[in-house]
Chain A
Amino acid sequence: MRFDYFVVPFCAGFGYLIIVLLFTYGRWINELGEGAALKIFKSLLTRKTLLASREVFQECLVHRKVFRVNPLLGYMHMSLALGWFLLIVIGKFEASYFTGEFTNEFYFPIFFRFFELSPHRTFTLQFFNALMDFLLLFILSGVALALYKRFKSSAMGMKNSTKHTSGDKWALALLWMIFPLRLFAESLTAGFAGNGSFLTQPLGNLLGMILPVRMLATPVWWGYSIVLGGFMVALPYSRYMHIPTEILLIFLKNWGIKPKDSISGMAFFELYSCSRCGICIDRCQLNPAINKKNQMVYFLRELRAGNEVTQMAHNCLLCGRCQEICPVGIDLTNLRTISRKQKDNAHIHSSSYPSIPMHSFSTKVLYFAGCMGSLTPGIRKSMETILEVSGEKYLFLDKEKSYCCGRPLKLAGRLAEAEKVSQNIKEAIVSSGANTLVTSCPICYKSFKDDYKCELRVLHHSEYLLELIQGGMISIRSGNKRLVYHDPCELGRKSGIYTQPREILTKLGSLTNVEEAYGKSLCCGGSLGHLTISMEEREQIQKSTAEYLNQDNPDCIATACPLCKKSLTKFSESPVKDIAELIAENLIKSNYKDHKTKKSNLAEAVRIDT
């Protein structure tokens, strides 16, 4: 057996880490909830696992998403992760090749050059040797970049960088020492044994000229082992916990495990997968406009530390801009939302919840403007005009009274109440016998589509209007207005509707693109998800977003949400209009037969309110 006492610190650290991880993950997996085990079991031997493995390779090792945000930062993450990973794997191959057997002491490959002192002669061994030196160099370049980033984070294209906890500081210091120590240990050994390659050998020779390398080598190997072991002990208490956790998270996600509505199980996997890369910081509009140190990375840190986070949880627009870019793909807004739950959440008050009077109607299409719609009559009126011209028989559900879809309560973390409110509305919708529900409000849309789980088709009006146009039910004049489209958070990022509004707009005029669009679209500042922000602060966001959208002096800013329209109008140079309004303005009414008779039938049905 190859052994030297200096490997003990490494082995102890490694053992400690394995025990802690097993214990921690065991607890979290236990908390995944009912059905999780079955789900995992069912998906284990399917394509999902393969996909997850590919994702692990792409994200945990190559850091593809970080690359996309910033190549230099991506390189830094990749050199450390992929480099280290390869160092371990290739080291294992090298050791196995050398000894001729696959099984050897698990620490042997790591301290290979300590134990194998003969200068290697065969071509394959020289190749392995050079490869290992190359990988070490690769990692060291990443470490150098990381050091540079510490002192000058703007070099990485990031305005803000994260602050560290003490666990982090220890782990970080140890991590930074690991590879330089390995370099020195190997070089010193190479200095007297000649077993190095292109990096370690010249360095070893150089050191040999000025230092007693034979005497120094063992102490430095000790140092390397201690630092390595120390790092593994510190790992569970530092941001580097994300290294093992993220791998598991990716598998769990691919197997279809979803976070529950409390901080447990899956939420822990997410929480500990955050690498504190800080990419989310600059994305947050609360950052430049209001300068509150409250972005996701800070929030997750506090949450992980078990500190009181109610205030922090509320201080967020839930716009999802950070989530869109987070390289780990953590469901960040959900973690905020569930942390908003209050102590008295279980208590549901006795007051009645609004519900739409239940009737069954002959109409197949229901129109729900959304409660915000009552403050933007331009959109409602346009929808009425369009629907009338199309000849579609429809029922205007919230014409006289506003109903709440329940999503605001959900965003505020009051899930039980939200459930109750939506249940009532859902019953009315279902009992109506309609097959299509059209809404103008992206918030309601998200709610109807994802939470209600009704049988009928749920469409945002941008989808429905495009259908009407494509089906020839309405026709519109094309113009040459220069339009800019603003993606509403709840419609774009949250519901994935990006193309339909744009398709309509290209029929109406020429659409100019702005950089911050689609998933990167700015929040209008009106977000319902933030309850504590003051109107003055909101106005700062509204103003900067409106100014951003006006940068090319468009003739009109188009959007598809009553709240966005309201938020942007005040500070926008050019008029802000909903796509429904733009269509109504450009509607060709020539093929509009007199629907008067139809209409009076309808009037009866519409007045369902008492």
Chain B
Amino acid sequence: MNKTIVIVGGGPAGLEAAAALGSSPHHVLILEKEHNTGGKLKNWHHLFPNFADASEILKSLEKSLPLNNSEIKYDCDVFKMEQMDGNLLVSLKSGEKIKADAVLLATGFDLFDAYKKEEYGHGIYKNVITSSELEGMFVNNSFPDQLKDGLPKKIAMVHCVGSRDKKAGNMHCSKLCCITGVKQAIELRKYLSKSSVYNFYMDLRMYGQHFEELYQEAQEDYGVNFIRGRVSEIAEISDGKLQVKAEDTLSGRPMKMIFDLVVLLIGMTPATSAASIAQSLALPKSGSGFLAPVHQHISANETCIPGLFLAGTCREPLSLQESITDARAAALKIIEWLKLKDNH
């Protein structure tokens, strides 16, 4: 018998899960709160670790969506769910309700609001930007005037903004900002050849395939400087110049340095758009507030609610590749579960 599978969120994870479910006889419905799919991916320019064009990848994700059994509904903000006779009733903000045999939450993550770390001056000093804003500049090829005049510039990349920080209320490591910082440092050096770039870090977490190599490349080929010390504060000195304070912990002395631009490598935080859903189902959360699966090791995509599954960054920080793999794993679990449901 044909069933309805609802996927909440049309980001990379949601799209990939729909594609993977294409071979099944079930009806797949993607509910996306914005007017287009792609999630965060549509804001990125080139991807680590190999500088692949993000828009190409998004295109191929969207192309692989099966036409026969899947449907995307835009501007559908899911905010509540309830259990009903073994099914799930999905409520939209518009008031519409949809009955589903299985639901996949692929609601993704939120970017950390950098203003919460007021000492870094985001939203106060114009030359303090976030990594996400920098991606936007690359995508639109529009840079602020002070970066255009071709003069040598000093740029600081600040790691761990809003991650690994009890003060920000986030204990987790966002995993991807280190490599993003290295990637963007290289990109900035390429774009502004006379510039010098300094990355301020606590630990460099180069966990993925080809990440460490990229780090090495940044040092060897692009002369990116790495300073082991977390930035404590940033102050505007004059004419938009920024004074960054940190301790060079390897030499053991506090330092200050003037920069033209500071890029804050903001972390991933749990999506607020999933909070009301989780609340309506009393879905447990992990320490940092991401949605918690039933079992970390053996059923990372399943939840304690029958018929409800998780994929992608709604459950923990993941790279694009990991999100996609995760979505396929979730799709497989959904098919298995629907089969089981049929047999009963």
Q: Do chains A and B touch in the complex (CB under 8 A)?
A: yes
Shortest Cβ distance from B281 into chain A, in angstroms? 24
CB pair A566 B236 closer than 8 Å: no
State the CA gap A483–B186 with chains docked (Å).
46
Task: Judge whether A374 is part of the interface by a CB distance below 8 angstroms.
Answer: yes
Task: Judge whether A381 is part of the interface by a CB distance below 8 angstroms.
Answer: yes
CB pair B233 A374 closer than 8 Å: yes
State the CA gap A376–B119 with chains docked (Å).
5
Shortest Cβ distance from B254 into chain A, in angstroms? 11
State the CA gap A569–B166 with chains docked (Å).
14
Interface positions, chain B 239-281, Cβ under 8 Å from A, are: 243, 256
Task: Judge whether B116 is part of the interface by a CB distance below 8 angstroms.
Answer: yes
State the CA gap A375–B243 with chains docked (Å).
13
Contacts A375-B233, A377-B125 known; A569 to B116 CB distance under 8 Å? Answer: yes
B84 cross-chain contacts in A, Cβ below 8 A: none
CB pair B234 A399 closer than 8 Å: no
Task: Judge whether B235 is part of the interface by a CB distance below 8 angstroms.
Answer: yes
State the CA gap A381–B127 with chains docked (Å).
14
CB pair B166 A535 closer than 8 Å: yes
State the CA gap A399–B238 with chains docked (Å).
10
Task: Judge whether B297 is part of the interface by a CB distance below 8 angstroms.
Answer: no
Main secondary structure of the interface of B (DSSP, over half): mixed
Task: Judge whether B344 is part of the interface by a CB distance below 8 angstroms.
Answer: no
CB pair A378 B166 closer than 8 Å: no
CB pair B237 A377 closer than 8 Å: no
Contacts A381-B125, A535-B166, A570-B167 known; A603 to B238 CB distance under 8 Å? Answer: yes
CB pair A375 B118 closer than 8 Å: yes
Main secondary structure of the interface of A (DSSP, over half): helix
- B-side interface size class: 10 to 19
Interface flags for A238-249 (1: CB within 8 Å of B; 0: not) read: 000000000000
Task: Judge whether B144 is part of the interface by a CB distance below 8 angstroms.
Answer: no
B235 cross-chain contacts in A, Cβ below 8 A: 374, 377, 380, 399-400
State the CA gap A375–B124 with chains docked (Å).
12
B293 cross-chain contacts in A, Cβ below 8 A: none
Contact of B169 among A535, A570, A606 (CB under 8 A): A570
CB pair B237 A569 closer than 8 Å: no
Interface flags for A349-383 (1: CB within 8 Å of B; 0: not) read: 00000000000000000000000001111101100
State the CA gap A566–B233 with chains docked (Å).
14
Shortest Cβ distance from A606 into chain B, in angstroms? 8
For A374, the closest partner residue in chain B by CB is: B233
CB pair A378 B237 closer than 8 Å: no
A380 cross-chain contacts in B, Cβ below 8 A: 235
Shortest Cβ distance from A601 into chain B, in angstroms? 13
For A565, the closest partner residue in chain B by CB is: B118
B243 cross-chain contacts in A, Cβ below 8 A: 400
B234 cross-chain contacts in A, Cβ below 8 A: 377
Shortest Cβ distance from A592 into chain B, in angstroms? 19
Shortest Cβ distance from B117 into chain A, in angstroms? 10
Contacts A374-B235, A399-B237 known; A381 to B124 CB distance under 8 Å? Answer: yes
Contacts A400-B243, A535-B166, A570-B167 known; A378 to B238 CB distance under 8 Å? Answer: no
Contacts A399-B235, A400-B237, A400-B243 known; A378 to B169 CB distance under 8 Å? Answer: no
Shortest Cβ distance from B247 into chain A, in angstroms? 15
Shortest Cβ distance from A33 into chain B, in angstroms? 43
CB pair B233 A381 closer than 8 Å: no
B124 cross-chain contacts in A, Cβ below 8 A: 377-378, 381
Interface positions, chain A 556-571, Cβ under 8 Å from B, are: 566, 569-570
Shortest Cβ distance from B125 into chain A, in angstroms? 7
Interface positions, chain B 21-75, Cβ under 8 Å from A, are: none
CB pair B116 A377 closer than 8 Å: no
- A-side interface size class: 10 to 19
B312 cross-chain contacts in A, Cβ below 8 A: none
B233 cross-chain contacts in A, Cβ below 8 A: 374-375, 377
For A539, the closest partner residue in chain B by CB is: B166
CB pair A566 B118 closer than 8 Å: yes
Shortest Cβ distance from A34 into chain B, in angstroms? 44
Interface positions, chain B 217-235, Cβ under 8 Å from A, are: 233-235
Residue from A378, A566, A606 whose CB has the most chain B CB atoms within 10 Å: A378
Task: Judge whether B121 is part of the interface by a CB distance below 8 angstroms.
Answer: yes
A378 cross-chain contacts in B, Cβ below 8 A: 118, 124
Shortest Cβ distance from A253 into chain B, in angstroms? 43
A375 cross-chain contacts in B, Cβ below 8 A: 118-119, 233
For B120, the closest partner residue in chain A by CB is: A377
A569 cross-chain contacts in B, Cβ below 8 A: 116, 118
Shortest Cβ distance from A212 into chain B, in angstroms? 78
A381 cross-chain contacts in B, Cβ below 8 A: 121, 124-125, 236
Residue from A377, A566, A570 whose CB has the most chain B CB atoms within 10 Å: A377
B121 cross-chain contacts in A, Cβ below 8 A: 377, 381
Interface positions, chain B 129-184, Cβ under 8 Å from A, are: 166-167, 169
Interface positions, chain B 290-310, Cβ under 8 Å from A, are: none
State the CA gap A535–B235 with chains docked (Å).
25
CB pair B166 A377 closer than 8 Å: no
CB pair B118 A377 closer than 8 Å: yes
Interface flags for A384-426 (1: CB within 8 Å of B; 0: not) read: 0000000000000001100000000000000000000000000
Interface positions, chain A 531-590, Cβ under 8 Å from B, are: 535, 566, 569-570
Shortest Cβ distance from B289 into chain A, in angstroms? 14
Interface flags for A30-74 (1: CB within 8 Å of B; 0: not) read: 000000000000000000000000000000000000000000000
B118 cross-chain contacts in A, Cβ below 8 A: 375-378, 566, 569
State the CA gap A376–B124 with chains docked (Å).
10
State the CA gap A467–B255 with chains docked (Å).
39
Shortest Cβ distance from B231 into chain A, in angstroms? 12
Shortest Cβ distance from A246 into chain B, in angstroms? 45
For B168, the closest partner residue in chain A by CB is: A570
State the CA gap A378–B234 with chains docked (Å).
11
For B243, the closest partner residue in chain A by CB is: A400
Interface positions, chain B 159-216, Cβ under 8 Å from A, are: 166-167, 169
13 CB-based A-B contacts, threshold 8 Å? A375-B233, A376-B118, A377-B118, A377-B121, A377-B125, A380-B235, A381-B236, A399-B235, A400-B237, A400-B243, A566-B118, A570-B167, A603-B238
Given contacts A375-B233, A377-B235, 10 further A-B contacts (CB under 8 A): A374-B119, A374-B233, A377-B233, A378-B118, A380-B235, A381-B121, A400-B256, A569-B118, A570-B167, A570-B169
Q: Which residues in B have some Cβ–Cβ distance to A below 8 Å?
A: 116, 118-119, 121, 124-125, 166-167, 169, 233-238, 243, 256
Q: Which residues in A have some Cβ–Cβ distance to B below 8 Å?
A: 374-378, 380-381, 399-400, 535, 566, 569-570, 603, 606-607
